[in-house]
Amino acid sequence: MSTAPHIDIDLAAFWSDPYPALARLRREAPIAFVPQLGSTLFSSRDDIFVSEKQIDVFSSHQPEGLMNRLMGHNMMRKDGDAHMAERKAIFPTISPKTVKAHWTAQFQAHADRIIDTLDPGKRVDFVKDFALPFSAECLKSITGLTNMRFEDMNAWSQAMIDGIANYAGDPAVEARCHAATAGIDAAIDDMLPTLSKTPDQSLLGVTLAAGMAMDSIRANIKLAISGGQNEPRDAVAGTVWALLTHPDQLTLARADEVSWLQVFEEYARWISPIGMSPRRIAKPWTIRDIAFEPDDRVFFMFGSANRDEKHFVNGQQFDVRRDASRSIAFGAGPHFCAGAWASRSMLADVALPTIFARLKNLRLRDDEPVRIGGWAFRGLLNLLVTWDATVPR
């Protein structure tokens, strides 16, 4: 255990809204051991920005970690050459060039098709009825698991997310995670004959063609599903909510005074869909007079870093005119999110402009309050909306 000062939190309150506790940590103890999480939390952007690059100390390799045990040893839990080799193998699927030339048109087709099914005369929950299927259909295309139902993609992603955050050891949560990984393995097995014979640009097709070991292919596809479903899903719904509750900022985007990419980047700073990344201390280390021993667990709190008062004035406010370039919503070191370009395309090139162009006078309904939760992964749980008419494609 580190020698960091101990700071207690209320877990239920932290899940509901982590930002007051994170602000307290930044003020009182930017590096603090939180007994309720069994980890030392880094809440300062400067500390995280520097430490995340020190992979010899703050290692992603966690042999006994929940992700390794439940999902297999993927590139997120590897450092150095091992990490870069797998990152290089998947790059042809998610490179900026491939996203622009290959995936963006498919993302657009998914968005338009889903919007065509929505009826403003019915009860529309934008999380469940658009953000969830849109993210899942895009992820089906990228992974190559087009044989899956979008409902399974979402459910299995959530089960894995719950599993790798199951620090309390709830056996029911672990069982759901095992069921999800078994379902993904079965979907991979079903697609192997086709994609082995005729590889495509998908993650499964590209890694098979690269000769990656099958255990690593499975682990990295599970990684892509665990993060690649919830982050775009939560960002789509959350950014729509943010704009509908800040109509002056929606006006700026509609008038092209700010880009949709600026809007997305500011939302990802303001409410980071992925709010935490864990690390293992690899060797004795001291920072800010706080000593760490090997195998101590550290949480880099991205959601806190992105509201750090030293870098973001009034960081608790959503402001699309802000320079969000110092945000580390996608990470800051060698583990910078490999899917960042795909996420930006899904949100800024497709979802946001399409939603606000095609759903005339989109607005919130007032018969159910918006609920939002989570701290490691944070997003809207519901978003009831209506609009006057759907503009044809």
3-state secondary structure of 145: coil
Tell me the per-residue pLDDT of 320-351, one tens digit each, with 9 for 90 and over. Answer: 999 999 999 988 877 778 889 999 999 999 99
Backbone angles phi, psi at 53, to 5 degrees: -85, -15
Tell me the per-residue pLDDT of 213-256, one tens digit each, with 9 for 90 and over. Answer: 999 999 999 999 988 898 999 999 999 999 999 999 999 999 99
Rg of the Cα atoms in the chain: 21
Q: What is the pLDDT of residue 175?
A: 95
End-to-end CA distance of the chain: 57
Distance CA 259, CA 264 (A): 9
Provide the CB-side half-sphere exposure for 294 (13 A, CA). Answer: 5
Backbone angles phi, psi at 142, to 5 degrees: -65, -45
Task: With residue 59 as reference, give the H or E element that holds it.
Answer: strand 58-59
Tell me the per-residue pLDDT of 281-307, one tens digit each, with 9 for 90 and over. Answer: 999 999 999 999 999 999 999 999 999
Q: What is the pLDDT of residue 312?
A: 97
Q: What is the pLDDT of residue 26?
A: 98
Distance CA 51, CA 302 (A): 12
Q: What is the DSSP letter of 92?
A: H
Q: Which residues contact 261 (CB under 8 A, 6 or more apart)?
A: 344, 348
Overall average pLDDT of the 202-211 stretch? 96
Is 80's pLDDT higher than 90? no
- CATH superfamily for 11-390 is Cytochrome P450 (1.10.630.10)
Q: What is the pLDDT of residue 293?
A: 97
Q: What is the pLDDT of residue 342?
A: 95
Tell me the per-residue pLDDT of 144-165, one tens digit each, with 9 for 90 and over. Answer: 999 999 999 999 999 998 888 7
Distance CA 291, CA 117 (A): 56
14 closest CA partner among 380, 373, 255, 383: 373
Contact 284, 293 (CB under 8 A): yes
- What does DSSP say about strands 297-300 and 363-364: parallel, antiparallel, or unpaired? unpaired
In this prediction the pTM is 0.94
Contact 311, 51 (CB under 8 A): no
Q: What is the pLDDT of residue 123?
A: 93
What are the C-alpha distances in Å from 311 to residues 20, 158, 254?
Answer: 17, 32, 28
Take residue 99 and report the two structure tokens written for it: 């996203």
Overall average pLDDT of the 127-145 stretch? 97
Strands (E), the chain: 31-34, 39-42, 58-59, 124-125, 277-281, 285-287, 290-292, 297-300, 359-360, 363-364, 372-373, 379-380, 384-386, 389-390
Q: What is the pLDDT of residue 76?
A: 76
Q: Maximum distance among all alpha carbons in the chain?
A: 62
Q: What is the pLDDT of residue 168?
A: 78
Q: What is the pLDDT of residue 4?
A: 97
pLDDT-derived band at 68 (thresholds 50, 70, 90) equals: confident
pLDDT-derived band at 91 (thresholds 50, 70, 90) equals: very high
Contact 59, 278 (CB under 8 A): no
Tell me the per-residue pLDDT of 170-200, one tens digit each, with 9 for 90 and over. Answer: 999 999 999 999 999 999 999 999 999 999 9
Q: What is the pLDDT of residue 304?
A: 98
Q: What is the pLDDT of residue 332?
A: 80
Burial class (CB in 10 A: 0-12, 13-18, 19+), 369: exposed
Distance CA 211, CA 134 (A): 30
380 closest CA partner among 124, 126, 119, 160: 126
